[in-house]
Amino acid sequence: MGLTNVIKVLLIEDAPAEARLLHEVLKGATRQEFHLVHEKRLKDALNQLETQIFDIILLDLTLPDSEGLDSLTPIINHNSHIPIVVLTNMNDEELALEAVRRGAQDYLVKRHITLDILVRSICYAIERKQMEKQLKKANQDLEKRVEERTIQLLKAQELNQLKSEFVSILSHDFRNPLNTILLSAGLLEDSHDQLTRDQQLSYFQMIRQAVQDMNQLLSEVLLLGKADAGKLKPNFNELDIKQFCQQIIYSLHLSCEEKNQIMVSFKGELQGELWDEKLLWHILQNLLNNALKYSPQGGKIYVDIIAQEKTVTFRIQDQGIGISQESQKHLFEPFYRADNVENIAGTGLGLSIVRKCVEAYQGQIFVDSQLGKGTTFTVILPRQQPVMSKIEESMEQI
Ligand code: ATP
Ligand code: MG
């Protein structure tokens, strides 16, 4: 039955005679032992509930400090798990029924109470309350499962939508360089004799650039796929971070007109630090590329690299077109591009790659931007100190 050996009963009843009677009745029980605690006022009963655990409450609906159904609510609010059996007089059965509707398990008319009726009512009330609890729990579990399943479905839908978006954008972005290749190859073939050497070279160069663009697009898509499959794991090695940053900046400068000045500053000690070169390359290359690309009117770009005790912060600040508050919410979604990019070229994949790489690094990324004023991206990565044996090795050499 799930009932404990001794059933602890809290009787809330102001009439001493009635209370005594109930006490006597319960004493007569042979198959089940009852321990009765009696209180005359609701306030004292609530105090009892603070300090003791009861299996059941027997509640008289007329108390000196509370009348009728008003007694029920504070008890249920205090502890909704204890079953309540309401005790009534002959003339207020309506009230008792209302009490049951509001959460009491049962009601007993005082004059009709016998040992059998009382014990049965108590035991049933406890059982029913337990079943109610189990049912509630089962319901909650079910609701949770439905919710989880809905989220899974929504994710699958989102993924499907993303996939079709992916395919349409990819085919568009592949078609452009393919057209360039086709056109250049056709011109080289048809008018080979009439072209100067320089013209020929320029068509070959266009073909090479188109192939490079396609190659880069492919590797970015592959990288995103790898990250989504959870396969993007960092691989730490020693790296001269200053030289590495300078190389990225140098190659970015080569590929765009030098209208911007990039000012790099390093703070703190970073020697011997371990890095994942590939992840870091994607992060810095994309953020710097954006800073240059979205500053069409020129302006300085500040790159601050700050080593702290446990983290390294990379701050890339530009004075470009900026990003609206609304767009900032979507920046890291694949293929998202803000409205103000106008004819600045891009696929909208860069920042989603940056985010995946920062996540793989277990770092954080923040953006702070104002339309027309400029943008600051801050990436915080955990420091990867060389392992102890390496430090000891270098100490021995000293
Ligand atoms: P690509 O895939 O070639 O990098 P993209 O630069 O458009 O294309 P993201 O790097 O992902 O794509 O950037 C997404 C969008 O965020 C950009 O299209 C642009 O609207 C906005 N954005 C990113 N960086 C900046 C910045 N520094 N200043 C202003 N807008 C920016
Ligand atoms: Mg970009």
Q: Any bridge partners for residue 9, and if so which?
A: 36, 56
**Contact of 65 with 12, CB cutoff 8 Å:** no
Prediction pTM value: 0.57
| 1-15, 95-109, 315-329, 335-349: least confident range | 1-15
Which ligand lies nearest the alpha carbon of 333?
1
Instruction: Answer yes or no: is pLDDT of 387 > 60.
Output: no
For the purposes of burial, counting CB atoms within 10 Å of the CB of 334, is it exposed (0-12), middle (13-18) or buried (19 or more)?
Answer: buried
Instruction: Answer yes or no: is pLDDT of 389 > 50.
Output: no
Instruction: Answer yes or no: is pLDDT of 91 > 70.
Output: yes
Instruction: Answer yes or no: is pLDDT of 338 > 70.
Output: yes
Protein residue with least CA distance to atom 12, ligand 1: 348
- Calculate ∠ Cα 302-305-311, nearest 5°: 145
Q: CATH assignment of 237-389? A: 3.30.565.10
Q: What are phi and psi of 35, to 5 degrees?
A: -115, 120
Fold assignment, 133-228: Helix Hairpins (1.10.287)
Instruction: Answer yes or no: is pLDDT of 318 > 90.
Output: yes
Instruction: Evaluate: CB of 318 within 6 angstroms of ligand 1.
Output: yes
pLDDT at 139: 92
Instruction: Answer yes or no: is pLDDT of 14 > 60.
Output: yes
Instruction: Answer yes or no: is pLDDT of 392 > 50.
Output: no
Provide the 10 A C-beta neighbour count for residue 244: 15
- Retrieve residue 371's tokens: 């339309």
Task: Say whether 396 sits in a helix, a strand or coil.
Answer: helix
Q: Any bridge partners for residue 370, and if so which?
A: 374
Instruction: Answer yes or no: is pLDDT of 284 > 60.
Output: yes
What would the pLDDT profile of 102-127 be if each residue is shown by its tens digit? 989 999 988 888 998 999 999 999 99
pLDDT band at 397 (very low <50, low <70, confident <90, very high): very low
HSE toward the beta carbon, residue 235, CA cutoff 13 A? 5
The Cα–Cα gap between 64 and 14 comes to: 7
pLDDT at 358: 95
The Cα–Cα gap between 280 and 284 comes to: 6
What would the pLDDT profile of 38-62 be if each residue is shown by its tens digit? 999 999 999 999 999 999 999 998 8
Which ligand lies nearest the alpha carbon of 291?
1
Which ligand lies nearest the alpha carbon of 345?
1
| % of the chain exceeding 70 in pLDDT | 93
What would the pLDDT profile of 133-173 be if each residue is shown by its tens digit? 899 999 999 999 999 999 998 888 877 776 776 676 677 67
Instruction: Answer yes or no: is pLDDT of 224 > 70.
Output: yes
For the chain, the structural domain boundaries read 6-124, 133-228, 237-389
Exposed e or buried b per residue across 307-318, where buried means at least 16 C-beta atoms within 10 angstroms of its C-beta: beeeebbbbbbb
Instruction: Evaluate: CB of 107 within 6 angstroms of ligand 1.
Output: no
Instruction: Answer yes or no: is pLDDT of 327 > 50.
Output: yes
pLDDT at 61: 86
pLDDT band at 257 (very low <50, low <70, confident <90, very high): low
Ligand 1, pocket-test mutation among 218, 351, 366, 368, most atoms within 8 A of CB: 351
Ligand 1, pocket-test mutation among 214, 218, 262, 294, most atoms within 8 A of CB: 294
- Retrieve residue 359's tokens: 């996540």
User: Could you write out the DSSP letters of every residue in 11-33?
Assistant: EE-S-HHHHHHHHHHHHT-SSSE
Instruction: Evaluate: CB of 331 within 6 angstroms of ligand 1.
Output: yes
**Distance separating the N- and C-terminal Cα atoms of the chain:** 77
Give Cβ neighbours of residue 62 (< 8 Å, ≥ 6 apart): 14, 68
**Contact of 42 with 51, CB cutoff 8 Å:** no
What would the pLDDT profile of 65-89 be if each residue is shown by its tens digit? 888 888 898 999 888 889 999 998 8
Task: Say whether 195 sits in a helix, a strand or coil.
Answer: coil
pLDDT band at 19 (very low <50, low <70, confident <90, very high): very high
Q: What is the mean pLDDT of residues 228-237?
A: 84
Give Cβ neighbours of residue 105 (< 8 Å, ≥ 6 apart): 83, 84, 85, 124, 125, 128, 129
pLDDT at 60: 92
Q: What is the mean pLDDT of residues 321-332?
A: 95
Q: What is the mean pLDDT of residues 257-278?
A: 85
**Closest ligand 1 atom to 316 CA:** 27
| % of the chain exceeding 90 in pLDDT | 46
pLDDT at 2: 47
Instruction: Answer yes or no: is pLDDT of 232 > 90.
Output: no
User: Could you write out the DSSP letters of every residue in 261-305?
Assistant: EEEEEEES--TT-EE-HHHHHHHHHHHHHHHHHT-TT-EEEEEEE
Mean pLDDT score across all residues of the chain? 87
| C-alpha pair distances (Å), 36 with each of 15, 39, 397 | 15, 10, 81
pLDDT band at 396 (very low <50, low <70, confident <90, very high): very low
The Cα–Cα gap between 279 and 235 comes to: 9
- Retrieve residue 99's tokens: 């009490």
Instruction: Evaluate: CB of 321 within 6 angstroms of ligand 1.
Output: yes
Q: What are phi and psi of 368, to 5 degrees?
A: -135, 120
Q: CATH assignment of 6-124? A: 3.40.50.2300
